[in-house]
Structure 1
């Protein structure tokens, strides 16, 4: 098999050759975009799912759909070390300049730029790394209090009014939303609430790990009514088979049915892993059809590569105590487990490892699907922990 013709594309956010099983989510996004641009009620939404299910790929595809529908868009990624104002300000400047260029004069767009200047000037006292070039006087008394929950809604309203004035829409797409602080998430929710009340053509579409739903609800009780939270999970068997077979067929090759079944079994239908196994199986196969024996050889290569990159980059961020906690969680097997069971394996009290669990949640390694339960956010990470730490830690803290 010619590796140059390999159609599979494992990688963070890399678009797969076949976006199988996600059309219902794209249809929902298309309808939402159309309704909001037409001034009709529709919910902004957050895609919810574990690592490796393709949330970033979907955000990129939705951004394209939005641009095709006449939206001005930005896509940003939240992370632990960058505050929300610093994350958004350069992108909102980009949007407002794009709106301002749509015709010779736009009072609303220029007002939006003045409001942005006020917003940046006010928050710069707290966020030192905001630097954007705006040769314009600020809008006095608007979005300049320095209180993010008060200022961000005013900024979004100015942005939405500028878009409405141009007959356009604005789509703000934010990945990794679980990294926002409670205050930042609260401000974002309040801003979306304000534009929803005014039916302005601005939509916020985000993606995050499963804990995002609880974080949003904790931040603002009405968040569950304001947003939709479509779940992005592993692919159903038929969709997983299509994600493997259809790209191969475009290159004149096929998988044997038992080979497909084995890939689905070991990957559990998670899109990132399907791409990795497809990639390795193609490179290992002497010729088409790709058979079961080839897939079994490919598994060793796929696991080795995942251990060196996808899993290792997360493992290396952990403290020794966090590694012990995750190894104990892995010992309990797949799925969610009680915090008390993890504590029992480590021979410690639940209260003593609660800070470790909280730290792991903040790092996006685990989440709590129900009160007192803990589960991995990274599929198959339990198997990796057992490979890299074959024995349950004997050191007790």
Structure 2
């Protein structure tokens, strides 16, 4: 088949041709934004799932849809080093500058810019020579404590947005990398906004451990957020994700080939896109056969091993690799921590700090007390495949 017409899109955050099985989460986000816009309560959302489930794609699609509905949209990705204040500053500045162009919101937005500029000075954020010609009122976002100041800034943006007949949607990817104090400040800000009934909405995405991190940061998080589990696709959704894009290009695929792909990927969207891409390029004629899919599997695994899996393994130290190797040797997870420690010839107290470091790197998480599991689907197969 012509590779230029290949409909599949393997890649980090690349939108697949068919966003199967995710419409309910998009609808929930649109509903919350619509309610916030009308001054009603709308729950902020956290999209939680393993690597390769399409959380970033879903986050982007929510942003695109909401932007069509009188909302200004800001998106950031949480690195493991930068503070939330430095990440949010340019986004909040951009939003307030945009709102200052609306006649009814000009005064409120300009005052918000003044508050934001002072906030940047207090938190030592480089503002690249930007100056504001208005003196902000004292006592607003000037304490130097993010948990006290960020709610003021969110409120300032919300008030300006309301005056302009707009809303603001903040998207944060990789939430698990936020520092504890930053996550706490974000939660307090969202809690405050929900009480003020201002048109500010938040959707975040991260690994499953984010639910616990949020609960540890603020006990009321479980009531504040709507936690959405983004898991593998069902059989029907796998069929939609694979068959429809192929049919749209005037081609076909053997149903047995689709089943083979479902079983081999366990329904994880990223792996389906990679395999579909390889199968299309291998196939001859206008139909993908079961044999094409089986041949494409070799290339698919090669691409995943040298990229998706390898880059994550390369982040680990030799000791950490020994820990995940012990996990993989026990078969599919989740794994009892005691069994992993025993496999390493150690006690759980000795492996505890090691386990925590791997958790902080986003490689493993605890699905329930006393257990660990990989955040990367099929990672155990990768380790066993290469006898690491």
Distance apart, 1:288 and its partner CA: 2.9
1:154-303 superposed matches below 5 A: 154-303=152-301
Q: Say if 2:76 is the partner of 1:76.
A: yes
The answer for the alignment partner of 1:63 in structure 2 is: 63
8 Å CA contact 1:117–1:137 kept in 2: the answer is no
Which of the residues 303, 314, 330 maps onto 1:316?
Answer: 314
Alignment partner, residue 132 of structure 2: 135
Contact 2:117 2:132 in 1 (8 A): no
Residue 108 of structure 2 is matched in structure 1 by 108
- The alpha carbon displacement at 1:82 in A equals 0.9
Instruction: Measure, in 2, the Cα distance between the counterparts of 1:105 and 1:349.
Output: 62
- Structure 1 distance, partners of 2:108, 2:134, is 15
1:10 aligns with 10
Deviation at 1:115, TM superposition (A): 1.3
Q: Deviations over 1:316-338 (max 9, x none)?
A: 11100111111111111222111
- Say whether residues 1:345 and 2:343 are aligned partners: yes
Q: What SS does the corresponding residue of 1:101 show, helix, strand or coil? A: coil
Pair 1:45-2:37 in alignment: no
Q: Deviations over 1:267-298 (max 9, x none)?
A: 00000000000000001112232111111111
Structure 2 CA distance for partners of 1:11 and 1:143, relative to 1, 3 Å: same
Partner in structure 2 of residue 374 of structure 1: 372
| Superposed displacement of residue 371, structure 1 | 1.2
Q: Deviations over 1:331-371 (max 9, x none)?
A: 11222111101001111111111111111111110010111
CA contact (8 A) 1:52 1:271 kept: yes
Distance 1:23 1:76, change over 3 A: same
Residues 85 and 132 from structure 1, CA distance in 2 versus in 1: closer, same or farther, beyond 3 angstroms?
A: farther
Structure 1: unaligned runs, 5 residues or longer:
392-397
Once the 2 structures are TM-superposed, how far is the Cα of residue 88 of structure 1 from its aligned partner?
A: 0.4
Structure-2 residue corresponding to 1:360: 358
The answer to whether the 8 A contact 1:100-1:106 is kept is yes
Cα distance in 2 for partners of 1:104, 1:186 equals 33
TM superposition shift of 1:61: 0.7
Structure 1 contact 116–138 (Cα < 8 Å) conserved: no
Task: Tell me the CA shift for residue 33 of structure 1.
Answer: 1.0
CA RMSD of aligned residues (A): 1.3
By how many angstroms is 1:386 displaced?
A: 1.3
3-state DSSP of counterpart to 2:204: strand
TM-score, normalised with respect to structure 1? 0.95
Residues 264 and 113 of structure 1: CA distance in aligned 2, closer, same or farther (over 3 Å): same
Secondary structure, aligned partner of 1:150: helix
Aligned length: 387
CA contact (8 A) 2:113 2:132 kept: no
Report how far residue 178 of structure 1 moved: 0.4
Q: Is the Cα–Cα contact under 8 Å of residues 49 and 210 in structure 1 kept in the other structure?
A: yes
Maintained 8 Å contact 2:120/2:126: no
Residue 171 of structure 1 deviates from its aligned partner by 0.5
Moved over 4 A (4+): 128-132
- Counterpart for residue 54 of structure 2: 54
Q: Deviations over 1:51-84 (max 9, x none)?
A: 1111111111111111111001111101101110
Deviation, structure 1 residue 199: 0.5
Q: Using the alignment, how far apart are the partners of 1:33 and 1:325 within structure 2? A: 43
Can you list the C-alpha shifts for 1:115-159, whole angstroms capped at 9, x where unaligned? Answer: 1112111111xxx65657243345232111111111111111111
Q: Distance in 1 between matches of 2:282 and 2:126?
A: 48
In 2, the alpha carbon distance for the partners of 1:133 and 1:228 equals 37
SS of the counterpart of 1:371? Answer: coil
Q: In 1, are the aligned partners of 2:108 and 2:160 still within 8 Å (CA)?
A: yes
